[in-house]
Chain A
Amino acid sequence: MKHHEEGWGWMLAVDFFFAGMGGAMLLIAGVLDLLPGEAGTSLLGNICGPLFISLGACFLILELGRPFQAWRVFMNPKAILTIGAWTMTLAIGFGFIYASFGLDVFPWSKMVGLRKLCAVICIITGLIVATYPGILLGRHKSRPFWNGPGMMVLFLLSSLVTGGAAHLLSAYLFTSSLAGNIAGLNLTVALLLAFQFLVWLVYLWVKISGTTTREAVAARRWLNGEFAAPFKYGFLLAGTLVPFILLFFEQRGLTMVAACLVLIGGFIMRNLVVSSGNIDRTWLPGELDYRSRLPLGDEEFLRAWNNK
């Protein structure tokens, strides 16, 4: 039965997608930089990291009821969103600084020690940015699909594969073969995709056989309900399995296709997860019947008398 839902809109899912991806890009760039040898991440990829986080932040701001008051979200240190806002800001700042080391025009571009320090900060903030949405959702005790530590793992994984894919994409744009540490990214992302596939299956299985019927009901939407098609074909097949195979060829064209598929899959999954939490709350006795009897807002009697 249809009813008016009170909850987060699609822009928040887009924020989670971009910020998660951007965070992971910082993380990956930092880690590759700290490993022995050349990092190999492209300048474009290094810029895209903080850029995507900024883009996510924009969507987050647009999602607000009062976007011009957005600065207020920094005010409650106990709130995960506040922590997220601060780390996103730091990540954006240090992300751009880190990227600037790739441009010779800046006098500090040759200061390796400073760059490595910057890489460490990028790893920390990037990791937090990539993880906190999952923690945020997981703490919602009355949202059966989100609740629990699993969501953090799923979101982190998704961030990592999309971040990795984005780095591959940016690198391959200007060269036909990868050099440096990034050369290993193809296989790493492929393995992470396989892992993501497994974790999702386990997650759904745990929810369905889980403690409450609400969890089972919420999880079934993903297997036979309205989420099933985009989830199975869009995310699991096209967004995970197919790129997993393609990445093994370590070939420019195929990797670029795979990376695009990974991004699309991640995008779909974030949207599904957010709306799943909106739809499935732990309803109080009789609440769902009550809400489904209410008008949706476009009824003739409302149109006739609403603005008078």
Chain B
Amino acid sequence: MKKIDLQQEGLEIKKACCYFCHQNCGVLVYVKDGKILHFEGDPDYPTNTGGLCCRGNVNLIHLDHPARVNYPLKRKGKRGAGEWERISWDQALTEIADRLAAIKAEFGAEAVATAGGTSRTDDWARRRFMNLFGSPNCFHNSHLCWIPTFMVETAIYGWSPFEIDLGLSRCIVLWGQNPGASTLPEMSGISALKEKGLKVIVIDPRYTETAAKADLWLPLRPGSDLALALAWIHVIIYEGLCDYDFIQENCVGFDELTAHVEQFTPEWAEPITWLSAEQIREGARMYAMNRPGNIQWGVAIDQQGKPAGAAMHARAILRAITGNLDCPGADLLTGPSQEFITDEEMELNEYLPEEQKAKQLGSDRFKLVTWPGYGRIAELTKKYWGKAPTAEWMCEAHPPTVYNAILTGKPYPVKALLVSATNPVNSYGESQKTLAALRAVDFLVTCDYWLTPCAMLSDYVLPIAGSFERPTITSTYGCSDFLLASQRAIQPLYERRTDFEFWRDLGIKLGQAEHWPWATLEDAYLYRLEPLGYGVESYDEFVEYYRFHFPERQYYKYKEKGGFATPSGKIELYSSVLEELGYPPLPPYIPPVENEIDHPEVAKEYPLVLTTGAGVMPFHHSEHFQIKELRFLRHEPQMEINPRTAKEYGIEEGDWVWIETRRGRIKQKAHLTEGISPGVVFTQRGWWYPERDMRDPELGGCLESNTNVLTSTVLEDCDPLSGTWANRGLLCKVYKVQDGAKEGNK
């Protein structure tokens, strides 16, 4: 290692952050003359305290990787041919703006849609652009990640209690969450508290890194979380483990709930969840009797399709009937920040005309995270908190419906898709359909770090600034009452720009200049922070001197504010908001989208249960397959299967196997493990092969091992509340790959 003198003159230490997952771990970057010499985890940053995971350590490799997109690219040959012309930003923006204006003139603003990914972005800027442009069709795959949970919980309690007061807690339920692979700083906190007696319950079909450390592991059948939650409610109510004072004072609908869950005994749940009644009772008792306690959100329920909304509702009820809300050690209803300007306040939602809101794709069927439900909830929270949740994320067009509209022109044509920070073929459901839509859409623009399969099919590709090249505000999708701020270490390399600049400059080209007063992202951030009253001159000054803002922790806000942000002012176990939207006010039982009990004929052909979508170190979603310093750890996609099941199918460790559902098949390498139930198969998510030919139709083998080929986005399989589609609890079969056959991308 070349030794770097960290004391040398002219060396600046920048307080930047890692940008490869939502934790945004703090990083100290040592910069001299605009060049980064060294970086390390920031020991003073509250979450990571100096630590960095695998991904965090490759920040510099990511920064100047040979495969990065560095200049605006315009397609030269056929779409997907991989022939590009380097053009200027100005030319790119002018041409894109002209094209969008023409589409708007001919088909209406709603014919322009945008697809987003995980937070790599300032998506308030995207929403601001789209609101001013007049299209309601922004979407993310956030349906798979927290957003439905947030909205169901807000319908019931008036905000989502995502802030957990773990330091004072006695029990945490990690429901379909594996912080041991996906949120390392959180895992560290849990381990430290566990040593002091915190009880840890892990609900997961897989024996994960986290399950290995748990007091109780409940390996349920994938997709049966709703049955488990209902049975837990049953146990807690019928064994008298409720917090009756809390219910009496703060909840409505307890009697209806009591009657409703009478049927959902642990014995009833046994055959559905594959857990014994005793295991179910043990878990419910552990949570209810070790108060205060927390239920940590995990993506598992968000990704179940049809039963998802009801499962979130049932899970939300568990907190309420045990009184684990807004008291010390419990899940806290902090509400939005009262002090700084939130994401929602940057979005200009009021500029989107009502008749355009009504056109939002999917909002007629899936009402909770589209304008009908969001509008109602925003109204309630504004009255109570003075602010609304972020619309970008919480109010979205339904992605499968948008892809359908591209393919069929129904209910109306969608002609342009602007893609930012996502690789849709690998991260949205039913990849074959997504890919068909990307090939079919008239005009495709991608903002990305890499030439992803989607970028390859695009008309324009724009180079985006990465972690150390941009400032970042971390505030839980704009919904937390705190924020953490990080600065850029260096100006973007080559001609990269932030996504903020893309939307801003495109907006200006389309006549939105008056609404984009901030020349830089730092200016916009400073505007947002000014109400905090730190008296700083610049955003960088805030980062250097303060870095974060945590308001004083306040418990029992509802006491002071006189209730909750719901129509009745109470916690609505029996939800009037859901009822208003036409949904069951109490969580009904909905079976997993494909299951052996209700669909025996499907189970005959596809006898195994599939779970997928979980995070696997060192990758993140569909990212980092190019980075050999990470890829070497798991250089091939791996599926997990119990040795007994593998034996039945003649599968041995290391065999390439096909995993097939009714929608298609993929191949991954078999890993035999006792950490998964016989009859269950786990596949890794995100896989594509950027080292291969990236031109259409090969597109880096983007369907070959991609688990989303297996998932279902059929409208009937989607959650009626949120429209989230089904990644888990599907039926599949597996068999050995006989020849070296590659799956085509046709």
Contact = CB atoms under 8 A, between A and B. Distances in A.
A and B touch in the complex (CB under 8 A): yes
A53 B692 CA distance: 50
A174 interface: no
A302 interface: yes
A304 B691 contact: yes
Interface stretch (A140-148, A182-190, A208-216, A292-300): A292-300
A35 B364 CA distance: 108
Contacts of B635: 294-295, 299, 301
A284 interface: no
Given A1-B654, A308-B66, A301 B628 contact: yes
Contact of B691 (A1, A293, A294, A303): A303
A306 interface: yes
B617 to A, nearest CB: 13
B692 A300 contact: yes
B628 A305 contact: yes
Tell me which of A293, A294, A295, A301 has the highest count of chain B C-beta atoms within 10 A of its own C-beta: A301
A305 B625 contact: no
Contacts of B690: 301, 304
Contacts of B634: 293
A294 B692 contact: no
Interface string B606-644: 000000000000000000011110011011000000000
B691 A300 contact: yes
A308 B66 CA distance: 6
Interface string B555-578: 000000000000000000000000
Contact of A301 (B66, B631, B654): B631
Contacts of B625: 301
In the complex, which range does the number of interface residues on chain A fall in? 10 to 19
A296 to B, nearest CB: 10
A1 to B, nearest CB: 7
A190 to B, nearest CB: 48
B632 A294 contact: yes
Contacts of A293: 634
Interface in B686-701: 689-692
Q: Is the interface of B mostly helix, strand, loop or mixed?
A: loop
Contacts of A308: 66
Given A1-B654, A305-B67, A308-B66, A300 B632 contact: no
Interface in A249-308: 293-295, 299-306, 308
Given A301-B625, A305-B66, A295 B632 contact: yes
A27 B631 CA distance: 55
A305 B626 contact: yes
Contacts of B627: 305
B691 A305 contact: yes
Nearest to A299: B635
A302 B689 contact: no
Nearest to A290: B633
Interface string B632-666: 10110000000000000000001000000000000
A192 B67 CA distance: 64
Contact of B689 (A294, A300, A306): A300
Nearest to A292: B654
Interface in B94-152: none
Interface string A1-20: 10000000000000000000
Given A1-B654, A299-B635, A301-B635, A306 B692 contact: no
A186 B627 CA distance: 64
B744 to A, nearest CB: 18
A293 B634 CA distance: 7
B263 to A, nearest CB: 46
A299 B632 CA distance: 10
B689 A301 contact: yes
B82 to A, nearest CB: 15
A302 to B, nearest CB: 6
Interface in B531-570: none
Contacts of A305: 66-67, 626-628, 691
A302 B627 CA distance: 10
A294 B631 CA distance: 10
Contacts of A294: 632, 635
A300 B626 CA distance: 11
Contacts of A300: 689, 691-692
A27 to B, nearest CB: 48
Contacts of A295: 632, 635
Nearest to A1: B654
Contacts of B66: 305, 308
A302 B628 CA distance: 7
A300 to B, nearest CB: 5
Nearest to B629: A305
Nearest to B66: A308
Nearest to B632: A295
Nearest to A308: B66
Nearest to A307: B66
A295 B690 CA distance: 17
Contacts of B654: 1
A306 B691 contact: no
Interface string B658-690: 000000000000000000000000000000011
Nearest to A297: B632
A295 B689 CA distance: 15
Nearest to A300: B691
Contacts of A306: 628
A11 to B, nearest CB: 28
Nearest to B691: A304
A94 to B, nearest CB: 46
Nearest to B654: A1
A10 B383 CA distance: 80
A289 to B, nearest CB: 9
Interface in B178-232: none
A287 to B, nearest CB: 15
Contacts of B632: 294-295, 302
A300 B689 CA distance: 9
Contacts of B692: 300
Contacts of B626: 301, 305
Nearest to A303: B691
B684 to A, nearest CB: 13
A292 to B, nearest CB: 8
Nearest to B669: A293
A302 B691 CA distance: 8
A64 B634 CA distance: 32
List the 4 shortest-distance A-B pairs measured between CB atoms, nearest first.
A304-B691, A308-B66, A301-B691, A295-B635
20 contacts: A1-B654, A294-B632, A295-B632, A295-B635, A299-B635, A300-B689, A300-B691, A300-B692, A301-B626, A301-B628, A301-B631, A301-B691, A302-B632, A303-B691, A304-B690, A304-B691, A305-B67, A305-B626, A305-B627, A306-B628
Given A293-B634, A301-B631, 7 more contacts: A1-B654, A294-B632, A299-B635, A304-B691, A305-B67, A305-B626, A305-B628
